[in-house]
């Protein structure tokens, strides 16, 4: 995390070895005949066997690939996990985790989730006979009151997409395990990455990642991952990866592995830029509210400081206007691009209600507060001065729609 001298500048004490592990874990040149310093891209789909009754670690690309193994070893180390499994996308990894549920099981989901994740549990999991409840898991008592005899999983994001609600993972874990040790606690850690939060160290059984976002950070790979330290869960999830077969390509694994090498310095810059942009927006007359866990005004700022190494680069703001003002603001931006996704080096801006959360039923969006004037910003690595100038000029254009 940031190397500020003032203890108030950053959150939990930074993990001193993260950068070294990101560069070296899973990358040993000794594992390759060539001695390559950077893991090569193994595109082979199948591997020669010495005997019909025995094969080496690698025998078929869907079951295992050396480039994918290098990546999975690195991510497991970054998340301080025993295991990592990668999938073709973030939602594919979520589908893999949901594959642990059987007909008649009950899953408790946080109420504020990425639209696709909400839709997966509300439609696909439900159609597979899984009972789903969505509750506000920022209040631990809500969770305690939601348990049923058939509860098998609790699934949350922290912070959540797009309202940046923060989960007290240790308290949720304690409540879950005191209810029943067998309930699987899953935390989607996409917005923070292992650099800023390690859910497994706080009691989660599985962490889920859309690697597409910050961990790749270059908006050119779609991929997902899970991490766990539970041997039984790993065996089941590895079976799902192998047999349901939703695996990433060797080339994408090479790109993702390469991105991890700069994850820490990119996150520090995302935090530095987002803090400056959030502070500018917080005082702007056309901005009703700024949600950024790095600002003391965030309702769960103290919790974020207690659990996180830093507040990441995502900001959600409420403009003092309606849909027309939001559209005018978003279309006036020049440095921020109007696009879904997040976590890349380029700054992105979007309107959750009609874009990433369009799929969420209107009454649920209303209950959550995903309104026409809610804008989500993914603050990139450009000059903070340019980013602030961009939102300032776009707000001036949108001022004509001020109500």
Ligand X SMILES: C=C(NCc1c(COP(=O)(O)O)cnc(C)c1O)C(=O)O
Selected catalytic residue, list 15, 58, 62, 80: 62
Task: Tell me, yes or no, if 165 is annotated catalytic.
Answer: no
Inter-CA distances, 306 with 31, 167, 396, Å: 39, 11, 37
323 binds ligand X (CB under 6 A): no
- Using CB under 6 A as the binding rule, the residues of this chain from 88 to 147 that contact ligand X are 89-91, 114, 116-117
Strand partners, 315: 377
Of 154, 159, 122, 160, residue with least CA distance to 140: 154
Tell me which DSSP letter residue 124 carries.
Answer: I
Q: Quick one: tokens of 141?
A: 């008592």
Nearer to ligand X, 69 or 212 (CB): 212
- Using CB under 6 A as the binding rule, the residues of this chain from 299 to 318 that contact ligand X are none
Taken as a whole, the chain contains a residue count of: 403
Nearer to ligand X, 66 or 253 (CB): 253
Which range binds ligand X by CB under 6 A, 124-132, 283-291, 334-342, 392-400? Answer: 334-342
Q: How far apart are CA 248 and CA 224, in angstroms?
A: 8
182 CB-near residues (< 8 Å, 6+ apart): 152
Among 161, 197, 229, 300, binds ligand X (CB under 6 A): 161
Tell me which DSSP letter residue 121 carries.
Answer: I
Nearer to ligand X, 27 or 300 (CB): 300
Strand partners, 109: 134, 155
Q: Is 361 in a helix, a strand, or coil?
A: coil
- Using CB under 6 A as the binding rule, the residues of this chain from 213 to 272 that contact ligand X are 222, 224
Task: Tell me, yes or no, if 126 is annotated catalytic.
Answer: no
Nearer to ligand X, 91 or 240 (CB): 91
Among 73, 197, 198, 212, binds ligand X (CB under 6 A): 212
Nearer to ligand X, 211 or 398 (CB): 211
Binding residues for ligand X, how many (CB under 6 A)? 18
Task: Tell me, yes or no, if 214 is annotated catalytic.
Answer: no
> What's the number of CA atoms in the CB half-sphere (13 Å) around residue 52?
0
192 binds ligand X (CB under 6 A): no
Task: Tell me, yes or no, if 213 is annotated catalytic.
Answer: yes
Tokens 């973030």 found at: 90
Selected catalytic residue, list 79, 105, 112, 188: 188
Mark 337-376 with x for binding to ligand X (rule: CB under 6 A) and - for no binding. ---xxx-------------x--------------------
Which range binds ligand X by CB under 6 A, 83-91, 147-155, 177-185, 306-314? Answer: 83-91
190 binds ligand X (CB under 6 A): yes
Q: Kindly state the smallest distance separating residue 118's Cβ from ligand X, in Å.
A: 10
255 CB-near residues (< 8 Å, 6+ apart): 216, 218, 220, 221
- Backbone region of residue 10 per phi and psi (left: phi > 0; alpha: psi in -120 to 50; beta: other values): beta
Which residue is at the shortest CB distance from ligand X?
Answer: 90
Question: How do 348-350 and 131-135 pair as beta strands?
Answer: unpaired
For residues 233 and 339, the answer to whether their CB atoms sit within 8 Å is no
Residues lying near ligand X in the complex (CB under 6 A):
89-91, 114, 116-117, 157, 161, 188, 190, 210, 212, 222, 224, 340-342, 356
Active site residues: 62, 114, 188, 213
């Amino acid at each position: 995390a940031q190397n500020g001298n003032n203890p108030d500048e950053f959150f939990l004490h930074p993990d001193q070895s993260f950068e070294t592990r990101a560069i070296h874990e899973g990358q040993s040149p000794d594992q390759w005949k060539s001695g390559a310093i950077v893991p090569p891209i193994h595109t082979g789909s199948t591997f020669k066997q010495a005997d019909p009754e025995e094969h080496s670690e690698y025998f078929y690309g869907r079951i295992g690939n050396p480039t994918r193994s290098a990546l999975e070893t690195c991510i497991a180390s970054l998340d301080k996990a025993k295991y990592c499994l990668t999938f073709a996308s973030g939602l594919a990894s979520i589908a893999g985790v949901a594959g642990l549920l059987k007909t008649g099981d009950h899953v408790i989901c946080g109420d504020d989730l990425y639209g696709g994740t909400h839709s997966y549990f509300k439609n696909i999991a439900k159609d597979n006979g899984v009972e789903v409840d969505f509750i506000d898991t920022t209040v631990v008592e809500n969770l305690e009151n939601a348990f049923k005899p058939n509860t098998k999983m609790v699934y949350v994001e922290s912070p959540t997409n797009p309202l940046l609600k923060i989960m007290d993972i240790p308290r949720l874990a304690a409540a879950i395990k005191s209810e029943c040790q067998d309930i699987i606690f899953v935390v989607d850690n996409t917005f923070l990455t292992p650099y800023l939060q390690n859910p497994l160290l706080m009691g989660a059984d599985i962490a889920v990642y859309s690697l597409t976002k910050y961990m790749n950070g270059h908006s050119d790979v779609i991929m997902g991952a899970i991490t766990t330290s539970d041997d039984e869960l790993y065996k089941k999830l590895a079976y799902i990866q192998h047999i349901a077969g939703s695996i990433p390509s060797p080339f994408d694994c090479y790109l993702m592995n390469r991105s991890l090498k700069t994850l820490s310095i990119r996150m520090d810059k995302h935090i530095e830029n987002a803090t400056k942009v959030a502070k500018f927006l917080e005082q702007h007359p056309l901005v009703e509210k700024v949600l950024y866990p790095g600002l003391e005004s965030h309702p769960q700022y103290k919790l974020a400081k207690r659990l996180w190494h830093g507040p990441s680069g995502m900001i959600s703001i409420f403009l003092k206007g309606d849909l027309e003002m939001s559209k005018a603001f978003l279309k006036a931006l020049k440095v921020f691009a109007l696009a879904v996704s997040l976590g890349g080096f380029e700054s992105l801006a979007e309107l959750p209600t009609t874009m990433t959360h369009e799929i969420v039923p209107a009454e649920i969006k209303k209950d959550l507060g995903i309104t026409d004037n809610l804008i989500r910003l993914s603050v990139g690595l450009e000059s903070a001065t340019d980013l602030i100038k961009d939102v300032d000029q776009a707000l001036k254009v949108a001022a004509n729609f001020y109500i």
